[in-house]
Amino acid sequence: MTGQSILDVIGGTPALWLDRMVAARGLDGRILAKLDYLNPGFSKKDRAALGIIELAETQGALHPGQTVVELTSGNMGTGLAIVCGQKGYPFVAVMSRGNSVERARMMTALGAEVILVDQIAGSVPGQVSGADLAEVDRVAQQIVAERGAFRADQFHHVGNAQAHFETTAAEIWTDSAGTVTAFADFAGSGGTFGGTVAGLRAKKAQVRGYVVEPEGAAALSGEDVTHADHPIQGGGYSMATLDFLRGTSVDGYLSVTGEVSRDIARALAREEGIFGGFSAGANVAAALELLAGPEKGGVVAVVICDSGLKYLSTDLWD
């Protein structure tokens, strides 16, 4: 792929069959891993960032030179820093101090103004809760009002899910030669799950969709939240509803512990050479569980959401 701008090479990421991992565990079926950590910003959020900004431009909601503001765990902020930098929009990323420092440094290097928000009392560094996110959202709203800015609003802006409908789903379908039977994804904004499942079902209505959540914070499945703090950054915020899941049939919910996510992320690096983050470990752990259960003999697609380079200051690689 050759482009005139870095924006031209967002998406179109390679995919890899995780046959080594599946065979080593004696499972029946296949896992297709979409390597979105190879996007320019090292995460799947580059797709959503480009989708939101370009749709806002088309709709006239974003004006030339206007400031863009968004709350982020770091990945959407990195994507927006790249997109806004190329298009000439000042960008302000608002992020909890509970997220890894690599993310803030990367956004700053890409030209973003980064505002770090203290965690609420009792929160654990490295473990961002829904309450922490709510405080980040409050600060983001305040900055939008003060600066007359455009809010990218990844939890609600249709450009998020639309990007995954148009690109991620289409690529997974092609990468799997139309053999994919299920898609599983760790829920953050829900845009990847909602958009990708809808896109895959437009190709084949029988494709099943599974939402992945942290154990103890599986609010979307209807469970009581007993452990809102967890190390799987970028999602699992104990939200009972997500806009992008409304109207999308969910075939099942899986919960994964931080420990299992960590172990599988490390196994991905050793066994498959994939240097992904915590949520990549959660997604592959869920896919392995599915092949041992309801998707035995099937083809489960997952996204490797971001790079392990964003977690060097955490215990993921200790």
**CB burial string 244-282: b at 16+ within 10 A, e below:** bbeebebbbbbbbbbebbbebbbbbbeebebbbbbbbbb
What is the rounded distance in angstroms from the CA atom of residue 269 to the CA atom of residue 134?
A: 33
C-beta of residue 153 within 8 angstroms of C-beta of residue 116: no
**Phi-psi label, residue 30: left if phi above 0, alpha if psi -120 to 50, beta otherwise:** beta
DSSP single-letter state for residue 124: B
What residues act catalytically? 45, 279
Q: What is the DSSP string of 168-182?
A: IHHHHHHHTTT---E
Q: Which helix (H) or strand (E) holds 133?
A: helix 130-147
The residue to which tokens 């390597």 are assigned: 35
Residue 161 phi/psi, 5-degree rounding, is -60, -35
